[in-house]
Amino acid sequence: MNRYKTSGGQFRTLGLFYEYSTVAERKVLPPIYTILDQDKEAQDGNTYPSLGRLYVDCGDPTEYQFALKHLGGWRHWLKLRKNKLIAPYVQAWRDELEVKLRSRGVIHQIEEVQNGGKGANGAAKWLAEKGFSGEDNRGRPSKKAIADEARKLDRMHEDIDEHLERMDDVRTH
């Protein structure tokens, strides 16, 4: 039996998590993860890894490798991240991963300057101008600009998801 699916063949969502499963459900389909930021050692003697920690540790902004490694694949990830209770956690994981990747980039630029490599002058200028802050000098964006950008990103994610689902349907038929 696939541990990511119910007996009816549906991808599990809330039941994947210790915090969202009941004692009765745990006997039939044990949870796999915790929704907490850190791994959870439960009273039942099991340790449940944090899916958020695994997401950030995976370091994959496309989320594809993460879905293959820690879930039942891409379609499972699409279903899980659309769940209204899980979606805020997913956004927090994405935000943390973005900061982690930006941090790596900044550290790489600092090392470039320290080592005097080919790009040292450009890296030094970028660091001096605080290019790593992700901000420009135009001031804070308006609420409307933030909302417009969020809608644009949501539409882009939906378009990509639909395209991938169509491709998957073509491959399976």
pLDDT in tens, 113-142: 777 777 777 766 766 776 666 665 556 777
Mean pLDDT across 52-66: 97
Sign of CA pseudo-dihedral 108, 109, 111, 117:
positive
pLDDT band at 52 (very low <50, low <70, confident <90, very high): very high
Q: Which of 79-88, 135-144, 163-172 has the highest mean pLDDT?
A: 79-88
The residue ranking higher by pLDDT, 33 or 43, is 33
Whether the CB-CB separation of 11 and 3 falls below 8 Å is answered with no
The pTM for the full model equals: 0.70
Predicted local confidence at residue 49, as pLDDT: 98
**C-alpha angle 161-162-167 in degrees, rounded to nearest 5:** 100
Mean of the per-residue pLDDT values of the chain: 85
Tell me: pLDDT of 94 over 70.
Answer: yes
The residue ranking higher by pLDDT, 154 or 40, is 40
Tell me: pLDDT of 90 over 70.
Answer: yes
Q: Which of 20-29, 132-141, 144-153 has the highest mean pLDDT?
A: 20-29
Spell out the SS3 assignment of the chain: CCCCECCCCCECCHHHEHHHCCHHHHHHCCCCEECCCCCEECCCCCEECEHHHHHHHHCCCCCHHHHHHHCCCHHHHHHHHHCCCCHHHHHHHHHHHHHHHHHHHHHHHHHHHHHCCCCHHHHHHHHHCCHHHCCCCCCCCCHHHHHHHHHHHHHHHHHHHHHHHHHHHHHHC
The residue ranking higher by pLDDT, 24 or 83, is 83
Tell me: pLDDT of 62 over 60.
Answer: yes
Q: How many Å apart are CA 75 and CA 64, to the nearest integer?
A: 10
Mean pLDDT across 46-61: 96
Least-confidence region, from 69-73, 111-115, 137-141, 149-153: 137-141
Predicted local confidence at residue 172, as pLDDT: 65
